[in-house]
Amino acid sequence: MITNHSVAVEFKRVMKSFGTKHVLSDVSFQIGHGQALCLLGRSGTGKSVTLKMIMALMRPDSGEVWVDQDNVVGMGEHRLSLVRKKLGYLFQDAALFDSLTLYENLALPLSRLTKKTKDEIDDVIQRVLDDVGLGTEGAKYPAALSGGMKKRAGLARALVLEPKILLADEPSSGLDRITASEIDELLTRRKTEHGTALIIVTHDVHGARRVADKVAVLDKGNLVAFGSVEEVSQSDNDVARRLITE
Amino acid sequence: MRWLSRLFEFVGKIGLFSLRVLIDWLKPPLEFAQFSRQLAEVGNKSLALVVVSGFALGAVMTLHTRSTLVTFGATAMIPAVQAVSFFVEIGPLVAGLLLAGRVGSGIGAVLANMRASEQIDAIESLSIDSFKFLVVPRVLACVIALPFLTLFMDFAGLLGGFLSEELSSHIAPALYLNRAFDYLQWSNFIAPTLKTAVFGFIIGSVSSYFGYTTDKGAQGVGEAATNSVVVSSLLIIVADVLLIKCIFFLFPDTAI
């Protein structure tokens, strides 16, 4: 159990349904600052929904979602915007804005949410792009980037405001092993060097083993296993064990 | 009865969406950069379509009018008929319908694609109000651009009509213009041109509604584009009837 002041994200008895389909049933877990949690599970088991609830892009039917000591369920837009500044979100397909260059994609949150000058913004963008290996690609539009570059660009945008908590939806999907491991290295570095909490939805067990301090396994809307990779690999639950070991 | 309740639900949703546009319009920040971008998209990129269509329509209309008026020996009325019909009705309505096709489908498809590819979620995740950032500038751009585009259509139609008439009767430009504006009053010109701002609001709000609220992924992109054009066009025609009644009420002299 994490002591209360260090909790980055906590779910308390969260339930969510779409029509008659229960996507999350009574899910509870918590993750601390500076820790990495990998959410594993078969497709359609509510992993991405979990991330969207943390960002308050979706609201649960019942339960509480705590982000750094704030319950985001039912929170007003103004307070929500303050909480969201603590969060970074790497979307599955990067979700870069098509009509903006990579530079403009990163400049948008900086110019709107900070009081940085143009030169300071340029410096931050160059540093973040260098960090993800896209230092010379700022003038390109998303359509001109490869799949791996888009993922890196999405990660750069998610990191540009220095979030305390980073949410990543399948950061290595569709990538070759080398690029996937480079993305994992970037995420791990973020955790160790900046103390950023990571919550990563993934199907990549190798990646989860490299990055995760904790693993949560969702199956049919239920949290069937939670713990370290070793603990989950010895779980009583067949799905959880097979996901980790096979 | 089920379709009726669905119709009311749909009308209510579009009504609330449009109301939110009006409310958010006045709230800071003004999103000037987005508005400029959208104004260029709606205005500049539609200009060629509007001018060419107006020119062709003006020329064709003169050819048809001439063949009828020749029978009555009233060919001198051609410039006036051309000007009154274009400025009062054809220009505003055709400009509205053309823009519903070009701009409406574009707005619907772009926003639906942004929804499907999670770009709208990404905007929200950056603490930016996606409605204010994406929808309001688009609607405002349509409202501002449409009256100006209508003017271009009106004058292009007049030019097309003149060239067509010049080829038939070698009429002098000054005489054509003199006859064209003989029967036009300011109220014939200003009210119908300004009513296209309402058409712009309809195009912007309806198209944004279909694009912004879709939840059908890639399939929703095509649906949003089609629905934007169909519903915008339909509402423009219905609004035109109501607005003409309003114009006649406010400017009784224009009711011929």
Angstrom distance (rounded) from CA B45 to CA B11: 30
Q: What is the separation of C-alpha A182 from the centre of its chain, rounded to a whole number of angstroms? A: 16
Q: Which of A155, A236, A216 is nearest to A190 (CA)?
A: A155
Inter-chain contact A98–B119, Cβ cutoff 8 Å? yes
What is each CA distance from B234 to A172, A201, B3, B227, B231, in whole angstroms? 46, 45, 18, 10, 5
Q: Do A91 and B121 touch (CB under 8 A)?
A: yes
Considering chain B, what percentage of its residues have pLDDT values greater than 70? 99
The residue with greater pLDDT, B72 or B108, is: B108
Task: Say whether A113 and B129 touch across the interface (CB within 8 A).
Answer: no
> Hey, of A81, A92, A100, which one would you mutate to test binding to chain B, going by the most B CBs within 10 A of its CB?
A81
Question: For chain B, how are helix, strand and coil distributed in percent, rounded to 5?
Answer: 90, 0, 10
Amino acid in position B214: T
Q: Lowest mean pLDDT: which of B23-27, B54-58, B224-228?
A: B23-27
Q: Between residues B106 and B168, which one has the greater pLDDT?
A: B106
Instruction: Give yes or no for residue B253 having a pLDDT over 80.
Output: no
Residue whose C-alpha is closest to residue B104's, from B240, B235, B9: B235
* Helix axes B78-85 and B45-72, enclosed angle (nearest 10): 140
- Whole-complex ipTM: 0.87
What are residue A220's phi and psi, to 5 degrees?
50, 40
Which residues of chain B lie closer than 8 angstroms to A166, CB-CB? none
State how far residue B130 is from chain A, nearest Cα, in angstroms: 12
**Bridging pattern class, strands A214-219 and A36-41:** parallel
Instruction: Give the confidence band of B74 by pLDDT, cuts at 50, 70, 90.
Output: confident
The pLDDT assigned to A3 comes to: 47
CB contact under 8 A, B118 and A113: no
Neighbouring-strand partners of residue A40: A217
Smallest CA–CA distance, residue B14 to chain A, in Å, is: 22
pLDDT 10s digits, A26-53:
999 999 999 999 999 988 888 999 999 9
- pLDDT tens, position by position, B19-51: 999 999 888 888 888 999 999 999 999 999 999
pLDDT at B186 over 90: no
Q: Whole-angstrom Cα distance, residue A152 to residue A75?
A: 31
Q: Which two tokens stand for residue B254?
A: 């224009």
CB B116 within 8 A of CB B217: yes
CB-CB under 8 Å, A95 with B117:
yes
- Whether residues A92 and B118 touch (CB distance < 8 A) is answered with yes
Enumerate the residues of chain A whose CB falls inside 8 A of the CB of residue B122.
89, 91, 95-97, 157
Q: Are A22 and A15 in contact (CB under 8 A)?
A: yes
**Nearest-CA neighbor of B250 among B185, B191, B196, B199?**
B191
| All residues at 6 or more sequence positions from A211 whose CB lies less than 8 Å from its CB, including other chains | A36, A38, A184, A187, A188, A191, A198, A200
pLDDT tens, residue by residue, A143-202: 999 888 899 999 999 999 999 999 999 988 877 888 888 888 889 988 998 899 999 999
| % of chain A residues with pLDDT over 90 | 57
Show the tokens assigned to A7.
Answer: 């909790």
From B114, B108, B224, select the one nearest A97 (Cα to Cα).
B114
DSSP conformational letter for B185: -
Looking at the partner chain, which of B114, B118, B123 has a beta carbon nearest the beta carbon of A93? B118
The pLDDT tens digits of the residues spanning A69-102 come to 899 998 988 899 889 999 999 998 899 999 899 9
| Interior angle at CA A193, CA A149 and CA A71, nearest 5 | 85
Which helix H or strand E contains A16, and what residues bound it? Answer: strand A7-18
What pLDDT is recorded for position B67? 85
**pLDDT on residue B217:** 83
Residue B256 is predicted with a pLDDT of: 55
Residue with tokens 């349904």: A17
Tokens describing residue A222: 């239920």
The residue type of A197 is A
Q: Please report residues of B whose CB lies closer than 8 A to that of A80.
A: 127
Domains of chain A: 4-86+163-245 (3.40.50.300), 95-161 (no CATH)
Chain centre distance of CA B58: 18
Mean pLDDT of A115-137: 92
- Asked if residue B9 has pLDDT above 80, the reply is yes
Q: What's the rounded Cα separation, in Å, for the pair B256 and A9?
A: 70
Asked if residues A99 and A71 have their Cβ atoms less than 8 Å apart, the reply is no
Q: Would you place residue A4 in the very low, low, confident or very high pLDDT band (cuts 50, 70, 90)?
A: very low
Mean pLDDT, range B45-58, rounded to an integer: 95
CA distance B223 to B235: 18
Mean pLDDT of B96-103: 96
Q: Would you list which residues of chain B are within 8 Å, Cβ to Cβ, of chain A?
A: 37, 113-114, 117-119, 121-129
Which pLDDT score, from 0 to 100, does residue A245 have? 80
Q: How far, CA to CA in Å, does A99 sit from each of A96, A208, B111, B119, B202?
A: 9, 34, 12, 11, 24
Q: Which residues make beta-bridge pairs with A227? A: A215
The pLDDT score that the predictor gives to residue B180 is: 86
> What is each CA distance from A184 to A80, A108, A225, B119, B173, in whole angstroms?
29, 26, 23, 23, 73
**What is the bridge-based pairing of β-strands A21-32 and A62-67?**
unpaired
The H or E element that residue A71 is part of is strand A70-71
Average pLDDT, chain A: 90
C-alpha span between B196 and B25 (Å, rounded): 19
CB-CB under 8 Å, B37 with A55: no
Which chain B residues contact residue A91 at CB under 8 A?
Answer: 118, 121-122
Residues in chain B: 256
Start-to-end CA span in chain A (Å): 29
- Cα(B209)–Cα(B198) distance, integer angstroms: 16
